[in-house]
């Protein structure tokens, strides 16, 4: 099974553009029809497909999948950090900076009129941090300073600009918590287990945990085991 998985994750680079920092590029990465440039760090098994654009200081964790078309991940001042086992749909915008609003114009005057750097035209509220096992639906916008915790589901057409607690399901503009995937005790135990740090072999040895409807009894069994 492991051999088959590794075969499927064999690195493919098609229509590749930009200057990816090869020292930070892991093996078994699938990149197809993507534009990537800057200080981009991709862990094992990452898939970036279908017209995704990535630029700046960006890290993407193990086995996360970024789908296009029209999905953009941009940073210029601070970083964008995406955890492991994340699923990001098409038509998603993740941008760590935005226009300055305290000048006479929000237009990029420095860059387009005075032929200077764009850095003086933009401002950031901080890093964008996306935890592990996060699912971001189509047509979402993730703004500067957003912190999306482990296990969050961001419903389609949502705008996230602040902190989202672990295992929340959020929707709307601005995104608000609709419900939680699990109760507080289970959420704490999942975070304690931190299964996203396991290697693929260990995950494959624990099929019940990943393919069964999750209960506290199942979690307790694996917490005792590990």
For position 1, what pLDDT does the model report?
54
For residue 19, pLDDT beyond 80: no
Mean pLDDT, all residues of the chain? 90
Domain 2-181 CATH class label = mainly beta
Averaged pLDDT for residues 204-225: 93
Strand-pairing partners, residue 12, are 30
Angle at 91 between CA 86 and CA 97, to 5 degrees: 80
Rounded to an integer, what distance in angstroms lies between the CA atom of residue 205 and that of residue 200?
9
Sheet with 40-42: strands ordered across? 40-42, 58-60, 80-82, 128-130, 147-148, 163-164
Using CA atoms in the order 159, 71, 105, 163, what is the torsion angle rounded to 10 degrees? 30
30 a catalytic residue = no
Q: Can you give the residue ranges of every domain in the chain? A: 2-181, 183-226
For position 15, what pLDDT does the model report?
41
Angle between helix 216-225 and 184-193 (nearest 10): 30
pLDDT in tens, 93-105: 999 999 999 999 9
For position 23, what pLDDT does the model report?
37
Q: Is the peptide bond before 69 cis (omega within 30 degrees of 0)?
A: yes
For position 18, what pLDDT does the model report?
46
CA 60 from centre of chain: 6
For position 2, what pLDDT does the model report?
55
Kindly state the helix (H) or strand (E) to which residue 6 belongs, with its residue range: helix 2-8
- DSSP letter string over 193-220? H-GGGS-HHHHHT-HHHHHSPP-HHHHH
Global pTM value: 0.87
Query: Which band of pLDDT confidence, cut at 50, 70 and 90, is reported for residue 28?
Result: confident
| Selected catalytic residue, list 30, 98, 99, 147 | 99
Q: How many Cβ atoms from other residues are within 10 Å of residue 171's Cβ?
A: 17
């Amino acid at each position: 099974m492991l051999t088959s998985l590794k075969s499927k994750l064999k690195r493919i680079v098609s229509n590749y553009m930009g200057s990816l920092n090869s020292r930070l590029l892991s093996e078994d990465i699938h990149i197809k029809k993507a534009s990537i440039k800057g200080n981009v760090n991709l862990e094992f098994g990452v898939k970036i497909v279908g017209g995704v654009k990535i630029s700046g200081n960006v890290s993407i964790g193990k086995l996360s999948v970024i789908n296009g078309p029209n999905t953009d991940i941009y940073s210029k001042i601070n970083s964008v950090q995406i955890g492991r086992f994340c699923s990001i749909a098409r038509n998603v915008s993740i941008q760590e900076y935005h226009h300055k609003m305290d000048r006479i114009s929000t237009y990029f005057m420095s860059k387009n009129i005075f032929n200077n750097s764009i850095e003086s035209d933009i401002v950031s509220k901080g890093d964008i941090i996306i935890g592990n096992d996060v699912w971001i639906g189509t047509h979402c916008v993730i703004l500067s300073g957003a912190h999306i915790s482990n296990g969050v589901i961001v419903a389609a057409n949502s705008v996230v600009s602040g902190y989202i607690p672990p295992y929340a399901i959020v929707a709307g503009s601005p995104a608000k918590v609709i419900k939680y995937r699990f109760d507080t005790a289970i959420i704490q135990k999942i975070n304690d287990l931190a299964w996203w740090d396991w290697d693929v072999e260990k995950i494959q040895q624990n099929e019940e945990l990943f393919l069964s409807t999750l209960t506290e009894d199942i979690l307790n069994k694996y917490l005792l085991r590990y």
